[in-house]
Amino acid sequence: MCPPQNRMTKNLNWKPINPPRNLRPDELAIVNKLLSAAFPGQGDLVQQIKSTKVISECQCGCPSIGLKVLDQGAKPAEVHKSVPVEAQVPPMAEFKLSTHVLLHVDSKGFLDELEFYRDDGENRLIKIPDPESLELIVLPE
């Protein structure tokens, strides 16, 4: 389950992207960094990302994106949580707040969303961080 502060951000205002687009290099770098963590289902998600497109973007100005695995034959990931891996970016010099990055998987086991949020809710100010700055978090079972 998501901690409460994660659930708060789920009222996102999504703009559909039609036709679906490829992940941009900076977005893909974040997902690949998240998928470098070890957790159940990780290998299947690594396979899914090859056929994953962006189907929606958050309209608040934050970089959150809705994902869809287009390969009908893709294997569902047997993840144990809807957010099997997340990360935080330590507070930057200019603001003493952490940015959080969550990889969501839907109930069928497919990549669903890359979510960014800030502790203070000022998500529109988020810029996609340097993947090297991410501190990966796999919550215990």
Nearest distance, CB of residue 23 and Zn ion, angstroms: 17
Residues 76-135 that bind Zn ion (CB under 5 A): 123
Nearest 10 degrees: Cα torsion 40, 43, 47, 50? 90
DSSP 110-135: -EEEEEEEETTS-GGG--PPPGGG-E
Residues 31-70 that bind Zn ion (CB under 5 A): 58, 60, 62, 64
Cβ proximity to Zn ion, 61 vs 91, nearer residue: 61
Cβ proximity to Zn ion, 51 vs 98, nearer residue: 98
Nearest distance, CB of residue 63 and Zn ion, angstroms: 8
Nearest distance, CB of residue 115 and Zn ion, angstroms: 8
Cβ proximity to Zn ion, 52 vs 64, nearer residue: 64
Nearest distance, CB of residue 55 and Zn ion, angstroms: 15
Cβ proximity to Zn ion, 79 vs 104, nearer residue: 104
- State the Cα angle at 110 between 77 and 121, rounded to 5°: 115
Half-sphere exposure (Cβ direction) of 89: Cα atoms closer than 13 Å: 23
Residues near Zn ion (CB under 5 A), total: 5
How far apart (Å, rounded) are the C-alpha atoms in residues 111 and 76? 9
Site residues (vs Zn ion, CB under 5 A) = 58, 60, 62, 64, 123
